[in-house]
């Protein structure tokens, strides 16, 4: 039985990794904060219940900590006690918001908090430090991204920028401390491809939810308001119940979305943690990324709509988007750069440590399974 310290255990990736470590018989120390009126212990208990692991709560030790403060915000005695039990550290806590207005919070959570976490790794004589980053720290113009230290380049948003800065800080500080470390770089993660279950509905789900919202607006207009708004945009309900919804999506170039299921992330991460290699970087990515055309067809089939059209290049200056297009564009704006991303990712290091572990292509049955679960729980964070 191994002892692990996890930050971000209440988040999407962290909660799934925590659950798998517990299933494997390990002990987990969860470092984090409460939220609203819920303390950390209560938040962790909700996660364990979602995973059906209520009975394993005695193997999770919750420590209310402030990662931005020295000694993690703990008193001297509590910090000394925490440090007296060396454990492998997996740092997953991060701010995943993209908006420029969130810059200060992103820098604090993703970069500035590392100082206290790495001090704790030093003070507790941690045997290994694993940092969970993102595959998108690679420059946007990189064609084949290697499992190598981050290079300077342009970033699509503050999240990518701060994760790149964090990687550099982790590598430099761990070298100074003589602390073995690894960096895990997942791409865009969705729910469990086998069951469809998820306790987070961002990224891929955000686009489908936006389309569901737009569909609902026009179905309501057609059913109860005479359909004037719909007719003005060429929107109509077909005899088979399919909603004709003209919706052009303009993208600067043809690209793809690199999507992986959470069960693949967990399988790969636990294999890496079980056989740690110092200074190794791992891409947890798909070898068969999805095209926008494929995803558009999946959305149409799942939502019972028709009319999504992917166009490449700048829209004509004279073109005015219809109301559905304008609303969809506004809703997905933070994610737009990823819809035409052209990066591919080498995964030589991952293949070496986890042969045979690879994510399946995102097929329609997997897509439908995941989205149906999301709709069943009304896009909630937990059931």
Question: Does residue 97 sit in the same domain as residue 166?
Answer: yes
Is 0.85 topped by the overall pTM? yes
* 170 lies in the same domain as 242: no
Beta carbons of 308 and 292 less than 8 angstroms apart? no
Instruction: In the chain, count H helices and then E strands.
Output: 13, 14
Kindly provide the residue ranges of all beta strands, DSSP E only, lying in the chain, ordered along the sequence.
3-7, 27-32, 60-64, 88-91, 129-132, 144-145, 181-186, 188-190, 236-237, 243-251, 259-261, 280-284, 305-312, 344-345
Distances (CA, A) of 341 to 13, 144, 252: 23, 12, 10
**236 and 270 fall within a common domain:** no
User: Which among 77, 119, 118, 91 has a CA at the least distance from the CA of 32?
Assistant: 91
CATH label of the domain that carries residue 272: 3.40.50.720
Q: Are residues 239 and 349 in the same domain?
A: no
Q: What is the pLDDT of residue 208?
A: 97
Is there a contact between 5 and 93 (Cβ–Cβ < 8 Å)? no
Backbone angles phi, psi at 212, to 5 degrees: -65, -40
The predicted structure's pLDDT at residue 383: 39
Both 209 and 92 in a single domain?
no
Q: How confident is the prediction along the chain (383 residues), in pLDDT tens digits per residue?
A: 799 999 999 999 999 999 999 999 999 999 998 777 789 999 999 999 999 999 999 999 999 999 999 999 999 999 999 999 999 999 999 999 888 888 999 999 999 999 999 999 999 999 999 999 999 998 888 889 999 998 777 888 999 999 999 999 999 999 999 999 999 999 999 999 999 999 999 999 999 999 999 999 999 999 987 888 899 999 999 999 999 999 999 999 999 999 999 999 999 999 999 999 999 999 999 999 999 999 999 999 999 999 999 999 998 888 899 999 999 999 998 888 899 999 999 999 999 999 999 999 999 999 999 999 999 999 984 43
Same domain, 78 and 225: no
Same domain, 220 and 329: yes
Q: How many domains does the chain have?
A: 2
Secondary structure class of 350 (helix, strand, coil) = helix
| Residues 32 and 177 both lie in one domain | yes
Q: Which residues of 252-269 are buried (b: 16+ CB within 10 A; e: fewer)?
A: eeebbbbbbbbbbbbbbb
CA gyration radius for the chain? 22
**Residue span of the structural domain in which 262 resides:** 3-195+258-289+342-361
Domain match, 281 and 302 both: no
The alpha carbon of 45 is separated from its chain's Cα centroid by a whole number of angstroms, namely 22
Is residue 379 a part of any domain in this protein?
A: no
pLDDT in the model for residue 155: 86
Beta carbons of 307 and 245 less than 8 angstroms apart: yes
Structure confidence by residue, pLDDT tens digits, 95-126: 998 888 889 999 999 999 999 999 999 999 99
Among 272, 294, 356, residue whose Cα is nearest residue 21: 272
Residues 250 and 128 in one domain: no
| Rounded Cα distance, 52 and 183, in Å | 29
């Amino acid at each position: 039985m191994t002892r692990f310290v996890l930050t971000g255990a209440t988040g999407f990736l962290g909660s799934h990794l925590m659950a798998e470590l517990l299933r494997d018989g390990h002990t987990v120390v969860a470092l984090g904060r409460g939220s609203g009126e819920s303390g950390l212990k209560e938040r962790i208990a909700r996660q364990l219940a979602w995973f059906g692991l209520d009975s394993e709560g005695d193997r999770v030790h919750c420590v209310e900590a402030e990662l931005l403060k020295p000694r993690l915000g703990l008193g001297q005695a509590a910090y000394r006690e925490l440090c007296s039990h060396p454990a492998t550290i997996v740092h997953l806590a991060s701010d995943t918001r993209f908006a420029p207005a969130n810059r200060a919070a992103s820098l604090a959570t993703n970069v500035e908090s590392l100082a206290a976490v790495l001090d704790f790794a030093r003070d507790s004589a941690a045997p290994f430090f694993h940092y969970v980053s993102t595959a998108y720290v690679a420059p946007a113009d990189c064609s084949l991204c290697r499992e190598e230290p981050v290079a300077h380049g342009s970033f699509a948003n503050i999240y990518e920028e701060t994760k790149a800065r964090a990687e550099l800080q982790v590598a430099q500080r761990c070298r100074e401390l003589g602390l073995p470390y690894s960096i895990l770089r997942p791409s865009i993660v969705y729910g469990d491809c086998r069951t469809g279950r998820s306790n987070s509905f961002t990224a891929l789900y955000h686009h489908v939810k936006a389309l569901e919202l737009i569909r609902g607006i026009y179905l309501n207009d057609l059913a109860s308001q005479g359909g004037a708004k719909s007719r003005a945009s060429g929107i109509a309900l077909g005899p088979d119940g399919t909603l004709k919804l003209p919706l052009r999506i303009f993208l600067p170039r043809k690209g793809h979305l690199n999507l992986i299921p959470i069960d693949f992330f967990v399988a790969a991460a636990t294999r890496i943690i079980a056989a740690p290699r110092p200074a190794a970087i791992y891409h947890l990515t798909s070898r068969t990324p999805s095209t926008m055309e494929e995803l558009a067809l999946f959305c149409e089939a799942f939502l019972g709509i028709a009319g999504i059209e992917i166009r490449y290049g700048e829209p004509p200056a004279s073109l005015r988007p219809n109301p559905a297009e304008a609303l969809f564009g506004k809703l997905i704006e933070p994610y737009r750069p990823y819809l035409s991303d052209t990066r591919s990712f080498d995964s030589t290091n991952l293949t070496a440590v986890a042969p045979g572990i690879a994510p399946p292509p995102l097929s329609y049955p997997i897509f439908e399974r995941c989205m149906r679960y999301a709709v069943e729980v009304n896009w909630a964070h937990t059931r």
